[in-house]
Amino acid sequence: MIKKTILALSIAASGAAFAQVSVTIDAAKPGPVISKNIYGQFAEHLGTGIYEGMWVGTDSKIPNTKGWRNDVVGALKDMHVPLVRWPGGCFADEYHWRDGVGPRAQRPVKVNTNWGGVEESNAVGTHEFFDLAELLGAEVYVNGNLGTGSAQEMSEWVEYMTSDSKSTLAEMRRKNGRDKPWKVDYFAVGNEAWGCGGEMSPEHYTQLYKTTTAFLKAPPANRPKFIASGGNDSDTKWTDSLSKVKSNISGISFHYYTIPTGVWEKKGAATGFAEDQWISTMKNTLKMDDFIRKNTEVMDKNDPQKKIGFLVDEWGTWYDVEPGTNAGFLYQQNSLRDAVVAALNFNIFHAHADRVRMTNIAQMVNVLQAMILTDKDKMLLTPTYHAYKMYVPFQDATSLPLTISNNGAYSMGKTTVPQVSASAAKAKDGKIYVALVNTNPNKPVDVTVNLSGAKAGKLNGQVLTAAAMDAHNTFANPEAVKPAPFSATASGGKVVVKLPAKSVVVAAVE
């Protein structure tokens, strides 16, 4: 009996060694390229996302270039924003592009009926948006108005932006200050056609999409990639209908927001939450993987040559708005939890890089899961910003398959999620990068990183973590959460990463 107990104790004591999580990267089997546009952004005419947050106008005392504030643009450039989607969202289906061109003082003032009923000055229109994209060095994704617009209005907008002829619309663009046509990388026909975009059925929208795109003409060398508005969960009806379209379609969009409670009416707070809402947020955000899998399985049947991309052009956390702010402005704080959510989603997107060729987090500044928050002339970088910047080496990198063995579970009550999430890729600088996430807010975990076919000497990179689950940056303390240098060296032929609780690590494997 005593012997048995000693045996049991010694097994338990050495159990940690057996149960160690290990990540094995297969560098000899490169997968698809992770499009840089997976790190795309979304800027809607919503709250202070554009006005105040980015656009202050040319006469502002806040230093700006062509009306766009220098501090915000500089920070966004530092995180290598590859692409921006504009002008909505729900706003897109009530936006008439002619309202936003010509002398700003003469542009009509409209009511933003979707977002707070505030006045929309139309100060930011097509020319201003392209100025922003040029300042950022980003590709553009313009969302057309199907809901209250028409095929004619959309085709004229495409002509205005892309024509190099002497047509009246191209000449109007020149008169408004832009000689050469712009490159419109992507153009979408409507947004959330199942909801704010017109409450349509998949079949009705699919027919409208085909009819509309038949009239969207652009010079062959300057033709945007056309995007259809798709679904928002594991129901694959939208994807099924749209992936049968044979021409004028480069992508089907998909929207999924992470809500801690899963209940729209009471979503949960951005900060000051308890652990049950930490784990439910992890659980809910990881559903993204299943949604992508189910939808892309349908695409694989209808489009086996993978001509059409699955574009998650709205995603991120959606909390109750900050107390005292306009409910229509969707302003929320952003904590370490958001950075972990972002990293989990990046790892999911990388794993589906063959189809997921673009995503756009909602939204870039001051709205939902933002990169930057502003208060008059001040700005701060959120934990989500830092996650994006840490993952820059993954932009246009070649994905590498990996296996996670002995992954632990992080549980609370009846909810369980995997403790470690990982992704690896060979970056454009020739180095292999690994990204590791620990979802457990209480326990660090040792992760052995192996490179099959080669020896990993050490890891060098950055870690993002903090003492509290809801640690966040404020205007009084803007650097409470920021990345720190991270390294791990080999011992006994393997690299063991000590992954702190609730953390994200991105490191080069050397």
What residues line the site for ligand AHR (CB under 6 A)? 44, 88-90, 191-192, 314, 362-363, 368
Instruction: For ligand AHR, give the closer residue by CB, 240 or 314.
Output: 314
The question of whether 314 is a catalytic residue gets the answer: yes
Per DSSP (E only), the strands in 304-429 are 309-317, 359-362, 372-375, 378-381, 398-400, 402-405, 409-412, 415-418, 420-426
Whole-angstrom Cα distance, residue 238 to residue 203?
8
Instruction: For ligand AHR, give the closer residue by CB, 191 or 334.
Output: 191
> Tokens for 14?
């050495």
Instruction: For ligand AHR, give the closer residue by CB, 332 or 450.
Output: 332
- Taking the complex as a whole, how short is the minimal distance between the CB of residue 196 and ligand AHR, in angstroms? 6
Instruction: For ligand AHR, give the closer residue by CB, 192 or 470.
Output: 192
Q: How many CB atoms lie within 10 A of CB 208?
A: 18
Task: Report CA-CA distances (Å) from 253 to 114, 304, 452.
Answer: 20, 18, 36
C-alpha angle 286-313-297 in degrees, rounded to nearest 5: 60
- Taking the complex as a whole, how short is the minimal distance between the CB of residue 285 and ligand AHR, in angstroms? 16
- Taking the complex as a whole, how short is the minimal distance between the CB of residue 359 and ligand AHR, in angstroms? 13
- Taking the complex as a whole, how short is the minimal distance between the CB of residue 53 and ligand AHR, in angstroms? 14
Instruction: For ligand AHR, give the closer residue by CB, 209 or 486.
Output: 209
Task: Please give the DSSP secondary-structure letter assigned to residue 222.
Answer: G
Task: Report CA-CA distances (Å) from 194 to 273, 380, 401, 454.
Answer: 32, 35, 36, 50
- Taking the complex as a whole, how short is the minimal distance between the CB of residue 89 and ligand AHR, in angstroms? 3
- Taking the complex as a whole, how short is the minimal distance between the CB of residue 256 and ligand AHR, in angstroms? 10
Instruction: For ligand AHR, give the closer residue by CB, 213 or 363.
Output: 363
The b/e string for 155-174 (b: 16+ C-beta within 10 A; e otherwise) is: bbbbbbbbbeeeeebbebbe
Pairing of strands 225-228, 186-189: parallel
Of 57, 186, 191, the residue nearest 114 (C-alpha): 191
Q: Which residue minimizes CB distance to ligand AHR? A: 89
User: Exactly one of 265, 314, 479, 510 is catalytic; which is it?
Assistant: 314
Whether the bond between 441 and the residue before it is cis, its omega within 30 degrees of 0, is: no
User: Exactly one of 44, 120, 128, 192 is catalytic; which is it?
Assistant: 192
Query: What residues are annotated to the active site?
Result: 192, 314
